[in-house]
Amino acid sequence: MNTLLKRSGLAIAVAGLCISAGAANASSHREAPFITETPKVDGTDFYMFRSYETGREGFVTLIANYLPLQDAYGGPNYFDLDDDAIYEIHIDNDGDAVEDLTFRFDFQDVNQDFTLSVGGNDVAIPLRTAAPLGPNASDDASNAALQSRQTYTVDVIRGDRRTGTVQAVTDSTGDTEFSKPADNIGGKTISDYSAYADSHITEVNIPGCGTGQVFVGQRQEAFAVNLGEIFDLVNLSAADVTGANGRDLGLNILNDKNVTSLAIEVPVDCLTAGEEPVVGGWTTASVRQARVLNPKPTKFTDADMGKGATVEGGAYTQISRLGSPLVNEVVIGLRDKDKFNASEPKDDVSNFAPYVLTPTLPELLEILFGDPAANGGEGNLAPNSFPRSDLVWAFLNGVPGLNRPGGEVVLGEMVRLNTAIAPTAPANQNDLGVLETDGNGNIVNADFAAFPNGRRPVDDVVDIALRVAMGVLHADRFDAVDDAFLDLMPADAPARNTEFTDGAVTSSALLNVFPYLGHPIAGSPNPQRP
């Protein structure tokens, strides 16, 4: 059997599952009713991939994005994270759908009161800073120039996220506290933002793992999706949706947005266990169970923290979850979206199996575009065999021969990465992974380091997901790829060969070095200015 073809088919299957549950990964911008009330802990995208920076091939990069849809000009407060929440990246390295390793990020506000003498009175200024910021994280003058900034700690937890063994990640001096750069206020405040942000990339010692890198800060949004028209009952023409007009229709609504990234790079053998190369990953955010609003908050410099705007207490409660792209956005039913955000992978089968076995996204597309004229005379669009076995095994346990762990696997939704597959150099990366064809249905430029084998910033997960959800695995060409596809009848998926697209591809200026996402768009100068 042709190994290339076999891996291609398997990779597609994985993609399908992640999509079929939904679609892809912007992942989760404002996807659940409750999370809209707490944007600081709204996870938007989760990336996990073998590092492709030159000389860093022995590492895996994990990036969890939070606080979506940031407009660069969002002053005066900009986009700090929640200092009463914890943000976590979880790794399952034995296939039981339970975290074995957790990286926990915890933020602290550092405030000081800036005043100006006006009319003989010291009056607090309304801006974050009264002077330009310096270029270095260790520049005391720079830090002192900010009224409000954030620091953070990172802990590595082995075992259960709440009861396991906790060890602090440190820098080369043994310090456990790291500095988050200010957001990209504008060119007058921070003249060289890229140098300023890069100075906050820190080489760290990770207990039990060796050295790595960490960075937290604002970045340019890399996810590409046509949010407006997709959620307006897919307000596109049939030629747009089916790819007749091309993939890049200039419809990436996120191309002028920023996001906040929590990025950590760790050695491959830090994540794996024994001889098993496949690991699963997802990110969560948790807040305290109780919040009391203070009707008379005092200024933030007061020592009594109980006099702030709120008082938080009680156990940490998970309210955000993100693994594979767009699962909660387009797979999980509206009534269960908050439940999904509060759940863990080990409970996915009991909680959400119908959404994978009988997905609604294909049916919605059929309702909107399912006439013969919209499908080249082939009739209906949606696959019509149930349960959707082509989505189940890939979505919940990884694909054999690609990214399925060995032994008994507990079904659960997460991003799975086969760390034994080498990274693809930037110049050779294919944003469709293994779904690009030559027009005759033959796979070309297959990239096995792409989603769904992990996820990189360049991967067009929306287009991949759409095609899998609509039955690409039923295509005739896969019958010769692997026995797993022999029971998938092409006739059951009339739109199997249609190259579905949302018309959006990433326009972000991605980097080929850690932390890979491009530097954030500046709040000033205004690009609209003549």
DSSP, residue by residue, 420-440: TSPPPPGGG--TTTT--B-SS
* Encoded tokens for 421: 């597959």
CA distances to 116, 117, 245 from 122, in Å: 5, 5, 62
Report the predicted TM-score, pTM, of the whole model to 2 decimal places: 0.90
* Encoded tokens for 525: 């100068």
The amino acid present at 3, given as its one-letter code, is: T
DSSP label at 469? H
Is residue 107 within a helix (H) or strand (E), and if so which, with residue range?
A: strand 101-111
Q: How far apart are CA 495 and CA 262, in angstroms?
A: 39
Q: Are strands 178-180 and 415-418 parallel, antiparallel or unpaired?
A: unpaired
**Extended strands (E) in 178-334:** 178-180, 202-206, 210-220, 258-267, 278-293, 310-322
| 467 phi, psi to nearest 5 deg | -70, -35
* Encoded tokens for 259: 């996001």
Contact present, 46 and 26 (Cβ < 8 Å) = no
Q: How far apart are CA 278 and CA 235, in angstroms?
A: 39
Q: Which of 243, 135, 205 is nearest to 466 (CA)?
A: 243
Q: How far apart are CA 97 and CA 280, in angstroms?
A: 8
Helix pair 3-20, 389-397: axis angle to 10 deg: 90
**Angle value at C-alpha 466, between 464 and 471, nearest 5 degrees:** 100
Helix, coil or strand: residue 391: helix
Provide block-wise average pLDDT over 10 residues at a time, the chain (530 residues).
31 33 46 85 96 97 96 91 96 96 96 90 90 75 82 97 98 95 93 93 97 97 88 86 89 92 98 96 96 79 62 92 89 92 95 90 82 52 84 73 86 94 96 80 83 94 87 65 61 82 88 97 83
pLDDT score of 25: 36
Contact present, 475 and 496 (Cβ < 8 Å) = yes
